[in-house]
Amino acid sequence: MMDDWKVALITIGSILGGVLVSGIISELYLRVNAAKFNVKGKHCYVTGGSQGLGKSIAEDLARQGAHVTIVARREAVLKEALEEIKKHAGDKDQKFAYVCADVASKDDVERAVGEAVKKQGKEIEYAFLSAGVSNPGFFVEQSADVLEQTMKVNYFGTLFSAHAIARRMVKEKIAGGHIVMVSSTLGMFGLIGYAGYCGSKFAVRGLAEALRVELQMHKINVHCYFPGTIFTPGYETENLTKPKITKDIEGADDGLTPEQCARGMFKGLRRGECAITTDPISLLFRCNTRGAMPTNNYVIDTVVAAIGWVAFPPWRWYVDYMVKSFRHEKPKVE
């Protein structure tokens, strides 16, 4: 008869060993199945590429040897950004272009995609859809116009761009292309002061999930990036109208520079990740809200999801308590 403690030790050892081996198998599975991601010599299209996250993505692409087209509305900002992006290129044959367009307009998007291909003399193979806006504020104090604009840029801007690019890829038989959408941590949970924004970013996630499935038919790979706080010009602007309570809750997130985010996003893309996060809070939400999305590492994601089940309820009680105590200063409706 074996001692009880030996039986216990063997049992625990087997479980831990099993978890470790499964984790390694899961990691290998992810990497072996990863679609090739190499932007060198490819035409990369970046919306919102004139500042913030989009610009850092464009600079990183330049370093990786890509031909880059950036898209945004303000021409002066685009021009200046393009000069800076070019400086990161390692090869003098790399081409750089910009196109002025409002992604909220389907006609503009259609034209921008055509113009980008013309300027580069090359079909788009990689698209990074980073154009977005955030106008935080209390829901009942915001105008319906602001709420509508957020949806138009964040959701329809991403939808129209993905649609025009995917159609073009299929028509021109570009296999192996990648479309990367930018959602947010707020595309995975709702936060006071961000009602309009959250809806638009949840919508981007839904679009990415459905397109990931459907576009496999055409060998087009779809990914969704969920960044936390990024120190960008957009972040500075949104802080001007952001309610204090929102800032307080958001304060739990340390934030990253756009360069750090771009680097982390590319790391995820090369690893073959479909849903990408680059900070611990977003990781927790991604794993805990994964539904039927593919996991990155099944074992790690499952353990992180379990942490969420335990940690989210007390955190939510705390947030709800804060919001209710805020009632004495509640928003005014004119």
Ligand X SMILES: NC(=O)C1=CN([C@@H]2O[C@H](COP(=O)(O)OP(=O)(O)OC[C@H]3O[C@@H](n4cnc5c(N)ncnc54)[C@H](OP(=O)(O)O)[C@@H]3O)[C@@H](O)[C@H]2O)C=CC1
Task: Supply the residues annotated as catalytic.
Answer: 197, 201
* Residue 127 or 249 with smaller CB distance to ligand VSD: 249
Residue 130 touches which member of ligand X, ligand VSD, none, C-beta under 5-8 Å by kind: ligand X
Q: Quickly list DSSP for 9-47.
A: HHHHHHHHHHHHHHHHHHHHHHHHHPPP---TT-EEEEE
Instruction: Write the single-letter amino acid at 12.
Output: I
By CB under 6 A, residue 136 contacts ligand X: no
User: CA 271, 274, 277 angle in degrees (round to 5)?
Assistant: 80
**Which range, of 20-28, 116-124, 211-219, 230-238, touches ligand X by CB under 6 A?**
230-238
Q: Distance between CA atoms of 89 and 309, rounded to whole angstroms?
A: 45
By CB under 6 A, residue 256 contacts ligand VSD: no
Q: Which of 117, 153, 207, 274 binds ligand X (CB under 6 A)?
A: 153
* DSSP code, position 100: E
Beta bridge partners of 127: 45, 179
By CB under 6 A, residue 199 contacts ligand VSD: no
Beta bridge partners of 180: 128, 223
* Residue 108 or 250 with smaller CB distance to ligand VSD: 250
Least CB distance to ligand VSD at residue 168 (A): 29
Number of residues that bind ligand VSD (CB under 6 A): 17
**Inter-CA distances, 170 with 36, 82, 175, 181, 213, Å:** 18, 29, 8, 18, 15
Q: How many CB atoms lie within 10 A of CB 63?
A: 16
Q: Which residues inside 235-254 make contact with ligand VSD, applying CB under 6 A?
A: 235, 238, 249-250, 252-253
By CB under 6 A, residue 74 contacts ligand X: yes
* Residue 58 or 174 with smaller CB distance to ligand X: 58
By CB under 6 A, residue 48 contacts ligand X: yes
Tokens read off for 154: 């964040």
Find the radius of gyration of the CA atoms of the chain: 22
Q: Distance between CA atoms of 203 and 154, rounded to whole angstroms?
A: 9
Residue 253 touches which member of ligand X, ligand VSD, none, C-beta under 5-8 Å by kind: ligand VSD
- Residues found near ligand VSD in the complex (CB under 6 A): 134, 184-186, 228-229, 234-235, 238, 249-250, 252-253, 281, 311-312, 315
- Residues found near ligand X in the complex (CB under 6 A): 47-48, 50-54, 72-74, 77, 102-104, 130-134, 153, 157, 182, 184, 227, 229-230, 232-235
